[in-house]
Chains A and B, each alone.
Chain A
């Protein structure tokens, strides 16, 4: 459902000093550089770029946290049920985790409600101190970065180095970014008519339910809790049943950082039980969901059926990536490739409809297929591997079914097209050319390593075709022509448009969808609106003056 910074850029940054370092290599390095290092001891003075080594996964990592986290304590599930958690790369059972259901949700809501009471430590806390707690949490994530990245790779099958350099980096940056916002969420004083003085208070909404997906488990966790906490809400968060482990480790760090009990509660569980209980709960004031459009509709309905809780949704996409003939071809091929294949294609942002201008179409297809063929599949913990397994059997089967439909409906299979390594969840990097807009692979979200390349002739045609979808999450445009870039980027119905780049995300920049891709925005200043109620206070005064 989501992507992140362009992966190869990130890895490059960690291998060589970014250009910003310039000549002062002997100084303790500038922070952008330092953050990319494995060696992150703040006390070290001179970790020159030459000394850097690649991070390695923690060997024989033992899972420490497997219970439900309520009121800063670990609980067993009320039902006594547990759920298995597997390593998708091997099929091995990693551990069993307590399975939350309705009763556990009720307990968590009670705890979150108590933490939100007027006069509670959390409500009375200075905003700057909420920010300080988020900053401390970021420090702790940095300290445990290797462990979290290893856990993430084991649990989700994503490439360890990506987890380390992309997911964990984004997690730390998101926490720090919202740490900074906490005491900058400013109300206004408003020049109303009449003898009144009016001001607004930006108050937290209350108890927020948050349901997150399995494709970027720890990063989604940070995207959700950081704005909620910086605004002063309390949280009940349900990680995906496939990938609960990093969320539970985060719970432990939340306690260590010093958040008061009940402010964050983490409940591993399934959607139809725990997720549904959150969505229908009469004492949850707001729900934020990231996942499929189908489930997004259920969430919206549940809010309507229950207490009209506020809803924000980050849902699916079928994102157009438009490549004009005047672009830098090699670069565009590379960006379109990573724009689709990043994270095993399991991104809501995946550029899954690549529209290529007629005159460069053959060349583009040929180079794209070559890139896909060169991908190295295998154990995500091993350096040099580009692609891990899909998350589970259900997703695996769905992707293969869509690949078959592409073949049947007449698209040209350029490479891949089936499973890799029998009895596993790996799928060959697959490229289809001569895809037409009506094919299923051009209309449905595949969420796997399957790239569709279409042909177009004119600007107006491609705008119209790119927008002919019920999704509207992201889009890309590759061109060196400033007029085309600005025309296409304003015409596309999408929450993010990238010009001459793809997946270029940062915590400062809002993220969210038009149309059926969602509702509301995450990240950036915009996300704060999703976690605040505005209260207008008007006071009668004896005499108004400007």
Chain B
């Protein structure tokens, strides 16, 4: 570990500069990790679904069934909410616990996950299809860092004393909201779980979490670690299940105080509606994006090409913050295109357990797979120039070739809609003012980037862009310390950083009459 602390060499395949690792240190994985947990986790116990139903989870690299998993529905959500409510009862062990001890539990969870890094990375790759080298070196370490970060916040989330007018003493208490429903996606199963649990538990809430039906396995293993490190029963409940049944039951539940959702904008609308038609539960949303990545002519070309490639193709293109509109200044457009195509053609697609693989299969979701191919056809149809790729990449599993479109126009479907696959759109622009306006001409506002050496341009563009995250001369740089969230249709609220705590806190103002106020 100390080597990691002290050495700052960045591996080539990771653009996430905060995830430092040495490729030599990655152990050889087992491509068939044993699955230990496939039931619902309620009240620190493993339970079958009330309906007794289960669903298969599939290895997207082969299309084979990994195992059956208990399928939660409304009745199971009710049970989980009861357990979470009981754990949140005034006077319960969880409510009475010192904040620093909540932090210690989160730290221990991070330690346990770190201990089991190799196994969790194998399971993540098996279930999700992302390359093992990435699961091992990016996803799991970021999970550990996120949990450690929020462990530290637990006893530092301070209220205030406030100098109000009159003979009063006034202070605020930062109290947990209560039972939090959390619905997470399949593109970063472990990491999204940590992003959700970290702030919710640091602030003292209890959780009912629905994990994506495509990728339930790592979340269930983490549930076992939650029990192992000593969280009281009912504090965290984990339910694999489908959106329209289990997800909907959480969003509409009258005894869930808050719901946090990461997923598509379409479903985000449904969540917000469900809150409105039930108990006005607090809502935070992390939704889709069509993020602009702007390359000015004075940028370092090699760096810009590599980062833009990473910005789009990382995680098989399945990132809400994918840089899917690459705006390149006209004077360097041709060279940038040529180099980008060369880079995409060299991208290694294949068995995610092979260490050389850069791109695995898309997540097993037939609809999603067809949708990506549909977008590729629309690009061709609407007149974009297919520079490379454009089809499926293997005869089994869910692989798609790294695809680049040139001469993309703002009005084309592939320039307006979120594709969520390995399909890169390159657009040409002339002036600064023009590109800012075009970059902002979208209903989304999640992330954006600009590559330039000019300090004025960097500031002009970064303040002009309507996006929750702006990267300058880098892309996809995530630290647990920095907030993440979207403008406009890309979401509501912020995750990570100190800002992430706000979304899990009720502020209580206590005012006491005093005989005489003094400064």
Q: How far is the CB of A385 from chain B (nearest CB, A)?
A: 29
Contact status B515-A128, CB under 8 Å: no
Known interface pairs A31-B105, A486-B514, A542-B456; A20-B153 also in contact (CB < 8 Å): no
Q: Mark A79-121, 1 if CB is under 8 A from B, else 0.
A: 0000000000000000000000000000000000000000001
Known interface pairs A24-B233, A173-B100, A176-B100; A539-B459 also in contact (CB < 8 Å): yes
Contact status B514-A483, CB under 8 Å: yes
Known interface pairs A20-B93, A30-B93, A258-B2; A542-B156 also in contact (CB < 8 Å): no
Contact status A177-B93, CB under 8 Å: no
Contact status A20-B155, CB under 8 Å: no
Is B53 interfacial (CB 8 A cutoff)? no
In the bound assembly, the distance between CA atoms of A23 and B89 in angstroms comes to: 14
Which of B63-71, B144-152, B190-198 interfaces with chain A? B144-152
Which of B224-232, B298-306, B319-327, B417-425 interfaces with chain A? B224-232
Q: How far is the CB of A183 from chain B (nearest CB, A)?
A: 5
Contact status B518-A491, CB under 8 Å: yes
In the bound assembly, the distance between CA atoms of A179 and B103 in angstroms comes to: 11
Known interface pairs A126-B18, A184-B481, A542-B456; A177-B5 also in contact (CB < 8 Å): no
In the bound assembly, the distance between CA atoms of A338 and B6 in angstroms comes to: 46
Q: Mark A251-267, 1 if CB is under 8 A from B, else 0.
A: 00000001010000000
Is B96 interfacial (CB 8 A cutoff)? yes
Known interface pairs A125-B6, A184-B152, A258-B2; A542-B514 also in contact (CB < 8 Å): no
Q: Mark A35-56, 1 if CB is under 8 A from B, else 0.
A: 1000000100000000000000
In the bound assembly, the distance between CA atoms of A32 and B4 in angstroms comes to: 31
Contact status A132-B229, CB under 8 Å: no
Identify B107's interface contact among A30, A135, A539, CB under 8 A.
Answer: A135
Q: Mark A113-148, 1 if CB is under 8 A from B, else 0.
A: 000000001001111110111010000000000000
Tell me the A171-229 residues at the B interface (CB within 8 Å): 173, 176-177, 179-184, 186, 197
Is B455 interfacial (CB 8 A cutoff)? yes
Contact status A22-B92, CB under 8 Å: yes
Is B158 interfacial (CB 8 A cutoff)? yes
Collect the chain B residues with CB atoms within 8 Å of residue A525's CB: 156, 158
Contact status A128-B498, CB under 8 Å: no
In the bound assembly, the distance between CA atoms of A202 and B516 in angstroms comes to: 38
Identify B460's interface contact among A177, A486, A543, CB under 8 A.
Answer: A543
Collect the chain A residues with CB atoms within 8 Å of residue B148's CB: 128, 131-132, 135
Is B98 interfacial (CB 8 A cutoff)? yes
Known interface pairs A131-B152, A176-B100, A180-B152; A21-B498 also in contact (CB < 8 Å): no
Contact status B96-A184, CB under 8 Å: no
Collect the chain B residues with CB atoms within 8 Å of residue A293's CB: none
Collect the chain A residues with CB atoms within 8 Å of residue B232's CB: 22, 24, 27, 30
Known interface pairs A31-B108, A542-B456; A128-B93 also in contact (CB < 8 Å): no
Is A29 interfacial (CB 8 A cutoff)? yes
Is A423 interfacial (CB 8 A cutoff)? no
**Selected A-B contacts with CB under 8 Å, 19 pairs:** A22-B232, A28-B229, A30-B93, A30-B105, A127-B481, A128-B149, A128-B481, A131-B148, A180-B153, A183-B149, A184-B149, A184-B498, A486-B512, A486-B514, A486-B515, A487-B514, A487-B515, A487-B516, A543-B460
Taking CB as reference atom, which chain B residue is nearest A541? Answer: B459
Tell me the B126-153 residues at the A interface (CB within 8 Å): 145, 148-149, 151-153
Is B245 interfacial (CB 8 A cutoff)? no
Taking CB as reference atom, which chain A residue is nearest B463? Answer: A545
Which A-B residue pairs are the 8 nearest by beta carbons? A180-B152, A31-B104, A22-B93, A20-B96, A31-B101, A258-B2, A32-B101, A129-B5
Q: How far is the CB of B500 from chain A (nearest CB, A)?
A: 12
Number of interface residues of B (CB under 8 A): 55
Contact status B518-A539, CB under 8 Å: no
Contact status A180-B230, CB under 8 Å: no
Contact status A30-B97, CB under 8 Å: yes
Is B276 interfacial (CB 8 A cutoff)? no
Collect the chain A residues with CB atoms within 8 Å of residue B92's CB: 22
10 more A-B contacts (CB under 8 A) besides A129-B4, A508-B156? Answer: A28-B228, A34-B230, A131-B148, A132-B148, A133-B5, A135-B148, A179-B152, A180-B103, A180-B153, A260-B6
Contact status B155-A177, CB under 8 Å: yes
Contact status A32-B514, CB under 8 Å: no
Contact status A508-B6, CB under 8 Å: no
Collect the chain B residues with CB atoms within 8 Å of residue A184's CB: 149, 152-153, 156, 481, 498
Is A60 interfacial (CB 8 A cutoff)? no
In the bound assembly, the distance between CA atoms of A131 and B96 in angstroms comes to: 27
Contact status A177-B100, CB under 8 Å: yes
Tell me the B66-105 residues at the A interface (CB within 8 Å): 92-93, 96-101, 103-105
Contact status A125-B5, CB under 8 Å: yes
Taking CB as reference atom, which chain A residue is nearest B227? Answer: A27
Is A61 interfacial (CB 8 A cutoff)? no
Tell me the B437-487 residues at the A interface (CB within 8 Å): 455-456, 459-460, 463-464, 479-481
Contact status A183-B518, CB under 8 Å: no
In the bound assembly, the distance between CA atoms of A127 and B148 in angstroms comes to: 12
Interface residue tally on A, bucketed by range: 35 or more
Identify A197's interface contact among B5, B111, B459, CB under 8 A.
Answer: B459
Is A374 interfacial (CB 8 A cutoff)? no
Is A294 interfacial (CB 8 A cutoff)? no
Taking CB as reference atom, which chain A residue is nearest B99? Answer: A508
Collect the chain A residues with CB atoms within 8 Å of residue B107's CB: 135, 176
Collect the chain A residues with CB atoms within 8 Å of residue B269's CB: none
Q: Mark B490-519, 1 if CB is under 8 A from A, else 0.
A: 000000001000000000000010111110
In the bound assembly, the distance between CA atoms of A499 and B337 in angstroms comes to: 70
Is B343 interfacial (CB 8 A cutoff)? no
Contact status B481-A20, CB under 8 Å: no
Taking CB as reference atom, which chain A residue is nearest B18? Answer: A126
In the bound assembly, the distance between CA atoms of A455 and B18 in angstroms comes to: 62
Collect the chain B residues with CB atoms within 8 Å of residue A28's CB: 228-230
Known interface pairs A22-B93, A28-B229, A124-B8; A482-B460 also in contact (CB < 8 Å): no
Is B55 interfacial (CB 8 A cutoff)? no
Tell me the B198-231 residues at the A interface (CB within 8 Å): 227-230
Contact status A31-B155, CB under 8 Å: no
Q: Mark B148-188, 1 if CB is under 8 A from A, else 0.
A: 11011111101000000000010000000000000000000
Q: How far is the CB of A84 from chain B (nearest CB, A)?
A: 37
Taking CB as reference atom, which chain A residue is nearest B95? Answer: A20
Collect the chain A residues with CB atoms within 8 Å of residue B99's CB: 508
Contact status A486-B463, CB under 8 Å: no
Contact status B97-A20, CB under 8 Å: yes
Tell me the A476-519 residues at the B interface (CB within 8 Å): 482-483, 486-487, 490-491, 507-508
Identify A258's interface contact among B5, B455, B464, CB under 8 A.
Answer: B5
Q: How far is the CB of A507 from chain B (nearest CB, A)?
A: 8
Contact status A508-B155, CB under 8 Å: yes
Collect the chain B residues with CB atoms within 8 Å of residue A24's CB: 93, 232-233
Taking CB as reference atom, which chain B residue is nearest A459? Answer: B515
Tell me the A516-546 residues at the B interface (CB within 8 Å): 525, 539, 541-545
Q: How far is the CB of B233 from chain A (nearest CB, A)?
A: 6
Is A19 interfacial (CB 8 A cutoff)? yes
Contact status B100-A483, CB under 8 Å: no
In the bound assembly, the distance between CA atoms of A320 and B155 in angstroms comes to: 29
Taking CB as reference atom, which chain A residue is nearest B517? Answer: A490
Collect the chain B residues with CB atoms within 8 Å of residue A539's CB: 455, 459
In the bound assembly, the distance between CA atoms of A228 and B395 in angstroms comes to: 59
In the bound assembly, the distance between CA atoms of A31 and B229 in angstroms comes to: 9
In the bound assembly, the distance between CA atoms of A528 and B4 in angstroms comes to: 26
Contact status A32-B152, CB under 8 Å: no
In the bound assembly, the distance between CA atoms of A483 and B108 in angstroms comes to: 43
In the bound assembly, the distance between CA atoms of A177 and B101 in angstroms comes to: 11
In the bound assembly, the distance between CA atoms of A381 and B463 in angstroms comes to: 65
Collect the chain B residues with CB atoms within 8 Å of residue A176's CB: 100, 103-104, 107
In the bound assembly, the distance between CA atoms of A21 and B269 in angstroms comes to: 41
Collect the chain B residues with CB atoms within 8 Å of residue A21's CB: 93
Tell me the A4-38 residues at the B interface (CB within 8 Å): 19-24, 27-32, 34-35
Q: How far is the CB of A493 from chain B (nearest CB, A)?
A: 11
